[in-house]
A and B are shown apart, each in its own frame.
Chain A
Amino acid sequence: MMVMRRFEEEAARNYAKGKIGGFLHLYIGQEAIAVAVAEVLEERDYIFQTYRDHGIALARGMSATAGMAELFGKDTGCSRGFGGSMHFFDVERGFLGGWAIVGGHLALAAGTAFKSKYTGEDSVTVCFFGDGSINIGGFHEAMSLAGLWKLPVVFVCENNQYAMGTPLERTSPLKDLSIKAKGYGMVGDRFDGHDVEVVQARINEAVERARTGGGPTFIEVLTYRFRGHSMSDPAKYRTSTELEQRKQQDPIAVVREKLTGLGVQESVLDDIDLEVDEEIDEAVRFADESPPAREDLMMSTVMAPEGES
C-alpha cells in the first residue's frame, strides 16, 4: 500500500512538473482493495481494471520503475509508452489492462472467464470498475452473460461515491448497489474497503466460489478517493469536512494502527516507509533517464504478426 501511495504522490508531482501528460487518475485512499485482491489471486488468474489502474498493477507485482516509466511515456514503461496512465499492462502477471471507456472492459473480463470455462482451467478473473459504470449498457450485458453462463468472474465495484463529480445519490436510485446481483442470477456482497483484512476475506469467498464452479459474484466495496477524479479536478463537489472525515479511515493508517497494536515497533514501519521512498525515487530517476518511446514500433505494432501462434 505504501508503494502505491508514494508512487502516486510522486506521479502527481511529476504531472505538475510536466513530466507526465494526458490524464492521471489517482487511486489514493482505495489501496486496501487492490492489495487484498492481489493477495487472494493465483498467478494464473486474470485482472481487469479501469483507467484508475496504477494501484492494482503495483499490487500484482509490476515494478514501480516500469509503472513510472510508462507515465513518463518511455520505452522502458510497462506498455512501452503506448498506453500511458490509463493503459498499464502486465500480461505475465495476468494484469490485462487498464481500460478507459467506462463499462467497456466488463465484457472482456467475462471473456477471459469464458476461456477458463471453455478450456476447463480453474483460473478466475477479477474485474474492477467504479460506481460510475453501473448505468451503462456494457455493465448490463457483461453481467447478464456472466450470470447466464455461470462464468468464473468476480465483478468488484469500487464505489468511491462519485462518478467523476456526480455523487451516487444523483446517479442511482439504489443505496445498496449489490442488490443488482440478484437480477443477474449471481451472488452479491457489500462491505467497507478500508480494512485490508476484511476485504481480503470477503474477496476470497467470491474468488473461491468462482474457482470451484459456483459462478460469478458482484461485489460493492465502499471506498473513497482522497484526490479528485483526475489531476484537473479540484473536487469542489464535496466538502473538506467530508474529506477529512474519510481520511480518518485511510486504509494505510488503519493497517498501521493494527500492526502497532500487534506489537510492531513504529521504527520498523518507519524503515519500511524509507525503503519505499527510495524505491519510488529510484523509479522516478529511472523513468526520467529512460529512452523515449520508439517511433519504429508505432507502425509495426498496429497489427499482430501473422503465422502460427
Chain B
Amino acid sequence: MRQLRYREALREAMFEEMARDERVFLMGEEVGHYQGAYKVSEGLLEKFGERRVVDTPIAEAGFAGVGIGAAMAGLRPIIEFMTWNFSFVAFDQIISNAAKVHQMSAGAIQVPIVFRGPNGAAKQVAAQHSHSCAPFYTNIPGLYVIQPSTPRDAKGLLKSAIRSNNPVIFLEGETLYGVKGEVPDEGVEELIPIGESRLVRPGSDCTIVTWGRPYYTVLAAAEKLSAEGIDCEVVDPRTLRPLDTRLMVESVKKTNRCVVVHEHWPYGGPGAEIVDQVQREAFDYLDAPLERVTGLDVPMPYALNLEDKVLPTEERVIDAVKRVAYAS
C-alpha cells in the first residue's frame, strides 16, 4: 500500500467524489484560488472550475446556510470551515437548520452535506483558535460526527460522509495534516462505514480508547508501557456519533481496565459518553474505575510550556494506565 499524507488523503476523497457526482461541490474561505488555507483543496479549482470550487467571503453563517439550502434542494455540498473555531458563528445554521429539518419535515427534506475543516489545537494559536469541538456537535441528534485519526480513515470516511444523505460534522486536525500513513492504492475504492470503530493495536492488559491528535500520543505511550510489561489494546471509535462501543466493550471484558484519552475538555462530550456506556456494559468485568486523560479544563494559553501542559501527554497516559493497572 502507498503512503499518503492526511491532507492528501482528504484531497483524494474530495477529488474522487467530485469526479463521480456532479452534485458535489466545495465551498469555503480560500478553498479555490488560494488553494486552501491548509492546502487540503490544492488543485481542485484547476480540475473542477469556479462553479464547483467556490470561494466565499468571510461569512460562515451565510455560506453554511447556503450549503444547507443547496443540500435541501438536492445538491451535495462540502462546506469547509477554515477551522472549526469559526463554526461557532454558524452554530445556529448547523443546529437549528441542518440537524432539524429532516425530522421537522417528517422526513420530506434531506440535508446531504459535509462540514469539514481542522479541529482542535494547532501550535500556540491561543484560546480562540484551539477548540476541540466534538462535545458541541456530538450532543445533537440529527448529525453524524466523524473524527478520523489516520490518512486511511480520513479518506475512507470522508468519501462515506460525502455519500451520506445526512449532515456530517467532519473534524480533521491541523497537526495531523502532515502525518503519513497507508492508504489503498489508486483505483482501489475504500468506503469506510460511518459508525464503526477500529481495533488499532491488540493487547491484553489495559484498553485505551482514543481518537484524533492524542491517537499518536497513545500509540507512543503504549510502546513505552509495553517495554515495561503492560500490554495495551487501543481502540479508535473514528465516528463519535453514532458511537460504536462494540469493540471497546469487548476489549474491556478482556483487559478489565480502560483509559479514555481525548483532546476535548473533560466536562461531558464523547469522552464522558464512552465512560458511561462502557462502565454499564462491562461493569462486571472492571477491575478499576475508568480513567480519562483529557485536555485540561482551561481556555488554551498561548505560551508553549502551558499549552504542552493542557494537551494530553504520553506521561499522563502512562500514569493513568498504571493507575488502573495498579502498577504505579
Instruction: Give bound CA distance, A105 to B92, whole Å.
Output: 10
CB of A111 within 8 A of CB of B108, answer no
Query: Separation in Å of the A127 CB from the closest CB of chain B?
Result: 10
A99 contacts which chain B residues (CB < 8 A)?
A: 97
CB of B109 within 8 A of CB of A108, answer no
A80 contacts which chain B residues (CB < 8 A)?
A: 106
- Asked if B39 lies at the interface with its beta carbon under 8 angstroms from chain A, I say no
CB of A145 within 8 A of CB of B108, answer no
B102 contacts which chain A residues (CB < 8 A)?
A: 301-304
CB of A114 within 8 A of CB of B112, answer no
Query: Separation in Å of the B110 CB from the closest CB of chain A?
Result: 4
CB of B25 within 8 A of CB of A89, answer no
B89 contacts which chain A residues (CB < 8 A)?
A: 137
> Known contacts being A304-B102, A304-B110, is A142 close to B51, with CB within 8 Å?
no
**Which B220-274 residues have a C-beta within 8 angstroms of A?**
none
**Which B37-68 residues have a C-beta within 8 angstroms of A?**
51, 56-57, 59, 61-68
B61 contacts which chain A residues (CB < 8 A)?
A: 107, 137-138, 141
Q: Encode contact with A along B91-128: 1 for CB under 8 Å, 0 otherwise.
A: 01100110001111111111110000000000000000
Query: Separation in Å of the B120 CB from the closest CB of chain A?
Result: 26
CB of A91 within 8 A of CB of B70, answer no
CB of B165 within 8 A of CB of A111, answer no
CB of A82 within 8 A of CB of B97, answer no
CB of A114 within 8 A of CB of B57, answer no
- Asked if A214 lies at the interface with its beta carbon under 8 angstroms from chain B, I say no
Q: Encode contact with A along B5-45: 1 for CB under 8 Å, 0 otherwise.
A: 00000000000000000000100000000000000000000
Which of B71-79, B203-211, B281-289, B309-317 lies at the interface?
B71-79
> Known contacts being A104-B97, A109-B69, is A82 close to B103, with CB within 8 Å?
yes
A111 contacts which chain B residues (CB < 8 A)?
A: 65-73
CB of A89 within 8 A of CB of B66, answer no
Q: Encode contact with B along A137-161: 1 for CB under 8 Å, 0 otherwise.
A: 1100110110010000000000000
CB of A145 within 8 A of CB of B59, answer yes
User: Who on chain B is nearest to A99 by CB?
Assistant: B97
The A-B contact count (CB < 8 A) is: 146
Instruction: Give bound CA distance, A115 to B103, whole Å.
Output: 22
- Asked if A309 lies at the interface with its beta carbon under 8 angstroms from chain B, I say yes
- Asked if B295 lies at the interface with its beta carbon under 8 angstroms from chain A, I say no
User: Who on chain B is nearest to A89 by CB?
Assistant: B105
CB < 8 Å: which of B25, B51, B59, B72 contacts A141? B59
**Which A32-80 residues have a C-beta within 8 angstroms of B?**
46, 79-80
- Asked if B166 lies at the interface with its beta carbon under 8 angstroms from chain A, I say yes
CB < 8 Å: which of A82, A105, A112 contacts B73? A112
CB of A145 within 8 A of CB of B63, answer yes
**Which A183-234 residues have a C-beta within 8 angstroms of B?**
none
- Asked if A110 lies at the interface with its beta carbon under 8 angstroms from chain B, I say yes
CB of B165 within 8 A of CB of A309, answer yes
> In the complex, which of the residues A118, A141, A307 has the most CB atoms of chain B within 10 Å of its own CB atom?
A141
Interface size class, chain A: 35 or more
Query: Separation in Å of the B157 CB from the closest CB of chain A?
Result: 14
> Known contacts being A89-B108, A118-B51, is A107 close to B66, with CB within 8 Å?
yes
B111 contacts which chain A residues (CB < 8 A)?
A: 304
Instruction: Give bound CA distance, A82 to B104, whole Å.
Output: 5
A5 contacts which chain B residues (CB < 8 A)?
A: none
CB of A306 within 8 A of CB of B57, answer no
- Asked if B142 lies at the interface with its beta carbon under 8 angstroms from chain A, I say yes
Instruction: Give bound CA distance, A119 to B23, whole Å.
Output: 9
Instruction: Give bound CA distance, A109 to B68, whole Å.
Output: 9
CB of A110 within 8 A of CB of B65, answer yes
B107 contacts which chain A residues (CB < 8 A)?
A: 297, 301, 304
User: Who on chain A is nearest to B160 by CB?
Assistant: A306
CB of B110 within 8 A of CB of A148, answer no
CB < 8 Å: which of B56, B70, B104, B141 contacts A87? B104
A91 contacts which chain B residues (CB < 8 A)?
A: 105, 108-109
CB of A303 within 8 A of CB of B166, answer yes
B70 contacts which chain A residues (CB < 8 A)?
A: 111-112, 114-115, 118
CB of A297 within 8 A of CB of B57, answer no
CB of A87 within 8 A of CB of B57, answer no
Q: Encode contact with A along B295-324: 1 for CB under 8 Å, 0 otherwise.
A: 000000000000000000000000000000
Query: Separation in Å of the B108 CB from the closest CB of chain A?
Result: 5
> Known contacts being A110-B69, A138-B61, is A115 close to B108, with CB within 8 Å?
no
- 5 extra interchain contacts, Cβ-Cβ under 8 A, other than A89-B104, A119-B75, A301-B102? A82-B105, A89-B105, A97-B104, A141-B62, A301-B107
Residues of A within 8 A of B (CB): 46, 79-83, 87, 89, 91, 96-97, 99-101, 104-116, 118-119, 137-138, 141-142, 144-145, 148, 297, 301-307, 309
Q: List 24 A-B contacts (CB under 8 A).
A: A89-B109, A96-B72, A96-B109, A100-B96, A104-B65, A104-B96, A104-B97, A107-B65, A107-B68, A111-B70, A111-B71, A112-B69, A112-B73, A114-B69, A114-B75, A115-B69, A118-B25, A118-B70, A119-B75, A137-B89, A141-B62, A144-B62, A145-B62, A148-B57
